[in-house]
Amino acid sequence: MDPLNPFGDGGFGSGGPRAAVEELDQGVNTADSRVELSVHIPSLSWPGHVLAAGVERLSGRLVDGTLTVSASGHRQQIGNREAARIRMAGLLRAAVAPSGPERRPTRPSVGARQRRLDTKRRRSQIKRGRRQATD
């Protein structure tokens, strides 16, 4: 990967002895239009704390510090390239976005707790009434 450009993208051909011939066939192989976009996260020029947060949040998707996104939903490679860029931008944006507010724990009110216990008692009595009496 080029150290000056952390982004890399590439298309995929079918390969093999018929590769040159398949290029001429129309719509035969969808692998021809697949695109893979990669970015080496540590080489981005982000501030240290932002970079650390991004690496931590993306840790499950990183392979040797590189985030890779592939797209193959479109018939043409240019559409897949644009889809991969949009997906990559969304991932990077989400990785550096500030986290939301902490959850404030709440407790049920006394009345709600009492209603729940009353309902449980009522259900218990109904089920107890369905039991067969044993002699």
Q: What is the pLDDT of residues 60-83, one digit of tens each?
A: 888 888 888 888 888 888 889 999
Q: What is the pLDDT of residues 84-103, one digit of tens each?
A: 999 999 988 888 888 889 98
pTM of the model: 0.55
Selected from 3.40.50.880, 3.30.160.20, 3.40.50.300, 3.40.630.10, the CATH number assigned to the domain covering 7-96 reads 3.30.160.20
- Write the single-letter amino acid at 77: Q
Decide if pLDDT at 130 tops 50. yes
Decide if pLDDT at 14 tops 60. no
Decide if pLDDT at 19 tops 60. no
- C-alpha distances in Å from residue 126, one per residue of 27, 57, 119, 123: 66, 51, 11, 5
> What H or E segment, with its residue span, contains residue 114?
helix 110-130
What is the average pLDDT across 105-122?
96
pLDDT averaged over the chain?
A: 80
Higher pLDDT, 57 or 18: 57
Q: Which residue has the tokens 């080029």?
A: 2
Decide if pLDDT at 11 tops 80. no
- C-alpha distances in Å from residue 16, one per residue of 3, 23, 31, 37, 102: 31, 12, 13, 23, 54
Q: Where are the domains of the chain?
A: 7-96
What is the average pLDDT across 109-120?
97
What is the Cα–Cα distance from 61 to 83, expressed in whole angstroms? 18
- Phi and psi, residue 101, nearest 5°: -65, 150
**Kind of pairing, strands 35-40 and 7-11?**
antiparallel
**Predicted pLDDT at 135:** 56
pLDDT band at 18 (very low <50, low <70, confident <90, very high): very low
